[in-house]
Amino acid sequence: MEETTMTCLDYLTYVPSYGIINFEHGKINVSRKEAKLHNSRLSQKQIQELDNKCQIGESVRLYYNSHRGIITWIGDIVCPLNSVHITENELSFTRNGKTMVCQEYAENFPIDFVRVK
């Protein structure tokens, strides 16, 4: 009998001729439709956690896109571009009274934003 375990998975992606993978756990036996639903729910939960639970000093991993603003891995907008503040040394945004800042960033790469206010 095959043993099963419950694991919390990060985002899933489709690799042609291989299937659905998770970058930490490798191949995952789910359909593309299930993976898309998983990613959508995870993205919404990530935004919800930022809004409701993120405390000063805690961080969240998001992405900066120069056309859309701050987004989740699947592209859900967390902060529109016109509300993103860019200086020589940092990228920041405020959402629901929470100010998030990062010191190093590159477009379309993961960014760990830290709540400072």
pLDDT (tens digit, 0 to 9) for every residue of the chain, 117 residues total? Answer: 566 677 788 999 999 999 999 999 999 999 999 999 999 999 999 999 999 999 999 999 999 999 999 999 999 999 999 999 999 889 999 999 999 999 988 888 999 999 999
- The reply to whether 2 falls in a domain is no
Task: Write down the pTM of the prediction.
Answer: 0.88
- The reply to whether 58 falls in a domain is yes
- The reply to whether 45 falls in a domain is no
- The reply to whether 47 falls in a domain is no
Q: What is the 3-state secondary structure (H, E, C) of 53-86?
A: CCCCCCEEEEEEECCCEEECCCCCEEEEHHHCEE
What domain range is 95 assigned to?
A: 53-115
- The reply to whether 75 falls in a domain is yes
Cα torsion angle, 59, 61, 65, 68, sign: negative
Q: Domain tally for the chain?
A: 1
